[in-house]
Structure 1
Amino acid sequence: MTITKKMLSIALVLLMVASLGFARGAKEDASATGKTNLTVLNYIDMSEPNSAREVEMVWDVFSKENPDINVIREDLFNEPFHQKTEAYAASGNLPDVVYMWPGGRSTSLHTQHLTKDLRPFLEKDGLLDDYAPAAIADQTAGYLAELPNGITSSHMMFVNTKLLKDNGLSIPKTYEDLKHIQSVLKPKGIEVIGMDNKDQWVMQSCLFSLIVGRYGGASWYDDLAAGKITFQDPWFVKSLEIIDDLYKSGLLNRNTLDVGYGNGRGNFATGRAAFYIDGDWATASFMTDVSTGKALITPAAQANDFDMIIFPALPGEVLSGTTSGVVGTGFGISANVPAGSAREDAAWRLVKFLQGEYVQTYRLSTGASFPSNLNVDVAKVIKDNNLEPFIEKRATFYQKYGTTPVVDAVLHSDVFNVINQGLQEIGLGSKTPAQVASDVQKAWVAFNK
């Protein structure tokens, strides 16, 4: 074992020990306070606008309304969050309530049944009809492991319409239109597409999943699982070739592979890129931070100078006008929480609150998520609260486009991690689309043995 590997092993052990202590310590202290202690692993980027206020408006409100519950919350974001989740899972001591994806990055929580089925809780409280049917459909392991905050579009192409207009350009309808835009903007030092591709998941989730749907159709995963198609067939190779061409043509600069997630938004907001590709959740980052009164894009500019679209039509696509989407993230309850216990009651009260009308209305108002709870009247909330234009434009976005699966929402991590790595290798020029397709097919075959 190399020194590096030894250090990594030691770090993992220390992380697991710390995880064990966090969860156990909280539960052992319950009798001392007379309250029910509840450990929570939460996902939040505290550098984002309104994040600090979300703690006040969501978590503090829950604590005030539920004085008999002591919430012990751990806030993490991006890779540190996922690494800690896996450490908790490996230790067998998952926090009582945990932020989750409906598959993908939370695959182990689903397939190992580390969280409870929430459907019986909804049924008991008569809440099934309060949520959009798609939001409470069975997830990766065939049960409702987390209660989602909405339906998420993992692809959204933000466009600076004023920049285009000022340069005699219009919103592109085709891939060739994008290349024409490039011919006009590049000589002026303006990037065409901004992305933050240092983290491997970004390209796969926020753009490649859309492209795969365009060439593979809405049923590509079902066809793959049924053995009707392979990853070395034209639908997948063509998808990889588009990524290759984006980099080679300069539509997407290779230096985006060095840009950490979220770091390119300022460049787009200040006119240094005509388009910015991310997920719909990025909407909130451009809006006004209530605590500072500042916004990357002012409400006036949101209304007049920017819009939200999808990637234009691709040559030879079999499906048009689609984005990629998945049931949103949410919260699950650890399977270790004893059934019928005070902790289980407290955990369900918290999950129910976090995905209830109050919190989903608040998160709609900040642009953080779009509601799955049908009691939230989106149009009324927008009108009554005079919400920023990006929220209304986001609502319109969902009504305009069809949806195909997100790669890491339907494939196992043993497969989508190979795709993620392959997309990076294409970007770096170290592998061809055909080579990456071969690698992915081998991973798929190995996974299905």
Structure 2
Amino acid sequence: MKMKKLVSLTGLGAVALLPTWAMAAAPVADKADNAFMMISTALVLFMTLPGIALFYGGLLRAKNVLSMLTQVAVTFAMVCVLWLIYGYSLAFSEGNPFFGGFGWTMLKNIELTALTGTFYQLIHVAFQCSFACITVGLIVGALAERIRFSAVLIFVLIWLTFSYLPMAHMVWAGGYLAAQGALDFAGGTVVHINAASAGLVGAYMLGKRSGFGKEAFKPHNLPMVFTGTAILYVGWFGFNAGSASAANEIAALAFLNTVMATAGAILSWVFVEWMLRGKPSLLGACSGCIAGLVAITPAAGTVGVGGALVIGLVGGVAGLWGVVALKKWLRVDDVCDVFGVHGVCGIVGCLLTGVFTSASLGGVGYAQGVTMGHQLWVQLFSVIVCLVWSGVVAFIGFKVADMVVGLRVSEEQEREGLDVNSHGENAYNE
């Protein structure tokens, strides 16, 4: 027995004499986490092409559907290239509280075996690129059916550089809002409010479509809307669960929360619409689905499943209010209701994250010493910062585009349709 104790004590003494660097386990790539993050990245890319393209395309009139598909496809490619050149570096490398540096420009200084947690950093580059792509894709829905294609490209260059990149750095790379304690698991501020604010500013600056309020502007293809919605729903699991950055219990929580919040929002939107209008609609169900997905995004990995359901139920009603009442009050022609759904539900989700993250309500709990009141204030502050920052940058971006090429097509071109006038194509042959 004494010999065993001696051996044990000798072993402990030897460990104590080891240098600190030898005791700390070096990060090791985990095959499961790498596979999980690659699948998640592919799902988020799938949300943009074809998800958001089909969803928005179906909402437009037939003469403009190809213009939407083209805008989404080309801005997607543009964001990917800019992300490689400087976007990832400015968003995620070390820098000041608002921007990263240029150390990872063209991905230089990122070794092939470099890790982000337990998966390769190159996968992180692709994962975050997919978020930037869909954020830009969301904006064009507010500008549809009257914006000049070249103006879209100029705007994207400016807005991505001076709004999306700093917001991503402030929230997800230890920047200003992260230092304040803001909670945004998968993009309530960075993606949805950011895009919604820019879309709202653009809709105001473009003005209403010719005939808006006098003619019936109805979605030309609801089955296309449904298909886009279904793709977005499936892809959103990469969006939310993938934000756990590992195939772990937080990913499982985010996955289930996404299911329940979306189900709650579909039901609340459809039943309230049914009471108000007398009939439940497919468009309402699709819109409720997106509303629930948006609302749970900032909270997916920190709230309990019961909290997620409540967030979804509230998000569905809030989204319906946003596209019916708020849109009329704002007197804006936001064609695909980017602000009404992504802005309103993003704000609701961010604020309710501050409530349902509480351990007493089933969440994972706040940081040590943080109260619900303080967290709510931080969440509100992050919402305000995002709305103002994105709105100002968007105004500048659209103004520059207007001065260089002009924002809007002529009334004659608008009435004939952007498919023919901007791209020389027809979606449907008679």
TM category (shorter chain) comes to under 0.3
Greater helix proportion: 2
Greater strand proportion: 1
